[in-house]
A and B are shown apart, each in its own frame.
Chain A
């Protein structure tokens, strides 16, 4: 289990570089500036996004972190979500949320106003064949 989590964390840590070099994502997020928390299993990451660009990606644990909204998923959720061709109920963050494998909390306005951005961002560790 620890090995699986370590692999997931490594894959997520590649997200800022992938996001910042993705022209489509940068255009999608050009009006987006926010701070959000992404939980990969037991490990939280705090993403500071400025005009669509990931300016900082800090790995927890944190003491009293501030953020607008949080998306926290079980390791199983992210493992399934990042499969090349995800199985039903693992293919979308809202599907995972409905199944209880992922929690979406906080001020959801930045998320809902930029749904395509965040769905794409959180699927970046997935190999290209099945990317949303």
Chain B
């Protein structure tokens, strides 16, 4: 019997970020319009494995996901042991644009979740013409905090346990146990302080209040999809953000939370496939 092998290929690309060499792990599957997927804080690109094995997506899109520096199989920069990792709007934006340029992606679609959902708003503000469309999952220009991030990285609390334990409640109770626990496993595998460092962007540096009104969706369409069980970025947060952006489209997803693509892939595809079909446009539909 032939082995069952996922049609996902993983490789490493070398690129300079912040003036320092980086070795970035990325995976891809499918062919067609480039679709770059951005994982959540403290996680990695495995969150998109279901999207990358869905022929309804990969028949039309070249789906790519890269592990942010310090995450997954991407190597932290030399000397990492002497510094505190902190993601910023500038460093995150640079990583995405550098990755797209290094792989010579022509007007990719970018889909990001959580911190990825926040940064697509900045891409829409500052670099809209470079993208065919932008999709923010669990995306808002700002949201209220619900715990103290100091708990995430200290020697007397197990980082894997507390990171996964905290985000566990961001998923919907309807999401099946297997993908829910797989999502948590990825959180348990994050490096020490990395989730906390990502949240520096989410809570401090990446506050986009007062800036999203500049987004011109005629240059680049913007779709915002948020799960009804997400209490970190609530549907109200997304709707408030979209109300400031003429042309932005909002979808509230039933029975999912903060990790739609990994906590309940079957439910998520009901919402994302129609969005991707619209991005493809009538010419490319069969």
Contacts and interface: CB of A to CB of B under 8 A. Distances in A.
B162 A112 contact: yes
B174 A85 contact: yes
A4 interface: no
Interface in A89-105: 89, 91-95, 97-99
Contacts of B66: none
A113 B231 contact: no
Interface residues of A, number: 22
B229 interface: yes
B170 interface: yes
Given A97-B146, A98-B144, A113-B158, A92 B170 contact: yes
Nearest to B180: A132
A106 interface: no
A95 B156 CA distance: 25
A40 to B, nearest CB: 19
Contacts of B151: 108, 112
B169 to A, nearest CB: 3
A130 interface: yes
Nearest to B165: A115
A112 B172 contact: no
B228 interface: yes
B166 A109 contact: no
What secondary structure prevails in chain A residues at the interface with B? Answer: helix
A78 B166 CA distance: 19
A115 B156 contact: no
A114 B158 CA distance: 9
A93 B147 CA distance: 12
Contact of A95 (B162, B165, B174, B231): B231
| Interface size, B (range) | 20 to 34
A88 interface: yes
A113 B162 CA distance: 6
B168 interface: yes
27 contacts: A85-B173, A85-B174, A88-B229, A89-B231, A91-B229, A92-B170, A94-B146, A94-B169, A97-B146, A98-B144, A98-B146, A98-B231, A99-B231, A108-B151, A109-B157, A112-B157, A112-B162, A113-B157, A113-B161, A114-B161, A115-B165, A115-B168, A116-B164, A119-B169, A130-B173, A132-B169, A132-B173
A113 B156 contact: yes
A112 to B, nearest CB: 5
B165 A119 contact: yes
Given A97-B146, A132-B168, A116 B161 contact: yes
A132 B229 CA distance: 13
A41 interface: no
A130 B17 CA distance: 44
Given A88-B229, A116-B168, 18 more contacts: A86-B173, A88-B231, A89-B231, A91-B173, A92-B169, A92-B170, A92-B231, A93-B169, A112-B151, A113-B158, A113-B162, A115-B165, A115-B168, A116-B161, A119-B165, A119-B168, A119-B169, A132-B168
B22 to A, nearest CB: 32
